[in-house]
């Protein structure tokens, strides 16, 4: 369909409306899949062209996918053609009457609208089930601390200050170990002859490691952001734009896009649970100002990890001082009344991961 449409487009001919049916004689395997799967592809393709003609700058012309990219198809529920048997752990899809064994992440009730089955480039299969359900509300934990300031760093992932003091959160050590393995696999892949069997094996190992790291990092960031949102009513972070520019190449591999992801998680979780999320202006001097006397140390260098305030003589840990200043911004906010119920439903207890939490936090230090 894409080929024919692109062909017509290049010849400046009128694009025909094509349905997948016309290919079924030439490609009999198309009869093996359910008709909705094909239908949805047609709709997606038409939307892609429509978007492009509506806004050429934002939407490029649709193009062919690589076979190794993520593959997926979507099918719709009609007359109970899609069902989930929670007890047996089976998913029934059109044309798959005997059901597919699945690992269930959570239970749900509601009407199934559609299912998207995808295969990632590391060879794993996922089914996302879209359901229609009542807008259930989630229980909100009452915050123990009024405010919290977070300074993000390279040496430590974050330095956090709230009503109870300051603590540092380390970069997860297992991620660093994983990145070393990643480098080895990358090297091994690049040495293999392109297109050979061994090259494909090495590619798969590399893709798996990439997926593993990305999942492990998300897991860490989700758990940390949830814990912070649960504990505090107002969460203040700095603008990371400037810090991003200062990152060295080595540091980049460690923190990667972790900061940006972390802030986006904090932001939407704050919305979900009725907390206030504040990102301070990039010109806010969180590191240079003494949190005790307000003296601004203009000549504070980037690699000064500790400094002594000329105004009051206090010795500062750079990151702790910065996080305290951000915390004070949060405290300055007028009282916000916490909501009683959050906006969205969260995972049911059935869906909690079995593995123990792997958030690694540093030891607490007293607030200066």
Report the number of secondary-structure helices (H) and strands (E) in the chain: 8, 14
CB of 319 to Zn ion, least distance (A): 16
Active site residues: 151, 238, 319
Rule CB under 5 A: is residue 242 a binding residue for Zn ion? no
Distance (Å, whole) CA 301 – CA 310: 15
Which position among 202, 206, 235, 290 is part of the footprint of Zn ion (CB under 5 A)?
A: 290
Distance (Å, whole) CA 81 – CA 75: 10
Rule CB under 5 A: is residue 312 a binding residue for Zn ion? yes
Distance (Å, whole) CA 279 – CA 267: 9
Angle at CA of residue 128, ends 126 and 129, nearest 5°: 140
Rule CB under 5 A: is residue 205 a binding residue for Zn ion? no
| Residue 62 and residue 48 in contact, taking contact as beta carbons nearer than 8 Å | yes
CB of 297 to Zn ion, least distance (A): 9
Rule CB under 5 A: is residue 309 a binding residue for Zn ion? yes
Q: Which is nearer to Zn ion, 267 or 295 (CB)?
A: 295
Write the binding mask 245 to 284 for Zn ion: x where contact by CB under 5 A, - elsewhere. ----------------------------------------
CB of 329 to Zn ion, least distance (A): 17
| Residue 241 and residue 281 in contact, taking contact as beta carbons nearer than 8 Å | no
Going by C-alpha positions, the residue among 115, 112, 123, 82 that lies closest to residue 99 is 82
Which window, 148-156, 261-269, 308-316, 319-327, contacts Zn ion (CB under 5 A)? 308-316
Rule CB under 5 A: is residue 368 a binding residue for Zn ion? no
Other CB atoms within 10 A of residue 24 CB? 14
Rule CB under 5 A: is residue 293 a binding residue for Zn ion? yes
Rule CB under 5 A: is residue 292 a binding residue for Zn ion? yes
Q: For residues 195, 200, 203 and 209, what is the CA-based torsion angle, rounded to 10 degrees?
A: 180
Which position among 156, 295, 358, 367 is part of the footprint of Zn ion (CB under 5 A)?
A: 295
Footprint of Zn ion on this chain (CB under 5 A)? 290, 292-293, 295, 309, 311-312, 314
């Amino acid at each position: 369909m894409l080929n024919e449409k692109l062909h017509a487009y290049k010849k400046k001919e009128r694009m025909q409306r094509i349905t997948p049916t016309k290919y079924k004689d030439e490609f009999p395997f198309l009869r093996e899949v359910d008709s909705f799967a094909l239908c949805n592809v047609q709709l997606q393709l038409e939307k892609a062209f429509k978007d492009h003609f509506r806004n050429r700058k934002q939407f490029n012309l649709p193009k062919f996918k690589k076979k190794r990219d993520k593959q997926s198809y979507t099918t719709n529920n009609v007359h109970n053609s899609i069902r989930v048997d929670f007890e047996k752990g089976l998913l029934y899809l059109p044309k798959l009457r005997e059901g597919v064994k699945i690992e269930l992440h959570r239970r749900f009730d509601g009407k199934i609208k559609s299912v998207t089955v995808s295969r990632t480039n590391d060879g794993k299969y996922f089914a996302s089930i879209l359901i229609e359900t009542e807008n259930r509300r989630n229980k909100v934990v009452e915050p123990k601390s009024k405010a919290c300031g977070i300074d993000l760093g390279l040496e430590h992932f974050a330095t956090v200050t709230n009503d109870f003091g300051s603590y540092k959160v380390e970069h997860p050590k297992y991620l660093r170990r994983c990145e070393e393995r990643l480098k080895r696999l990358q090297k091994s892949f690049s040495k293999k002859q392109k297109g050979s069997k061994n090259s494909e094996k090495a590619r798969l190992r590399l893709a798996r490691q990439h997926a593993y790291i990305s999942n492990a990092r998300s897991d860490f960031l989700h758990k940390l952001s949830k814990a912070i949102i649960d504990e505090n009513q107002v969460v203040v972070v700095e603008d990371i734009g400037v810090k991003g520019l200062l990152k060295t190449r080595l540091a980049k591999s460690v923190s990667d896009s972790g900061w940006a992801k972390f802030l986006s998680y904090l932001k939407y979780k704050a919305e979900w649970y009725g907390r206030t999320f504040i990102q301070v202006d990039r010109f806010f001097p969180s590191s240079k100002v003494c949190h005790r006397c307000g003296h601004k140390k203009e000549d504070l260098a980037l690699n000064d990890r500790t400094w002594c305030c000329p105004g009051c003589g206090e010795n500062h840990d750079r990151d702790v001082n910065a996080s305290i200043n951000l915390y004070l911004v949060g405290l300055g906010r007028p009282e916000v009344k916490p909501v009683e119920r959050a906006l969205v439903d969260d995972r049911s207890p059935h869906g909690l991961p079995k593995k123990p939490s792997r958030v690694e936090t540093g030891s607490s230090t007293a607030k200066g």
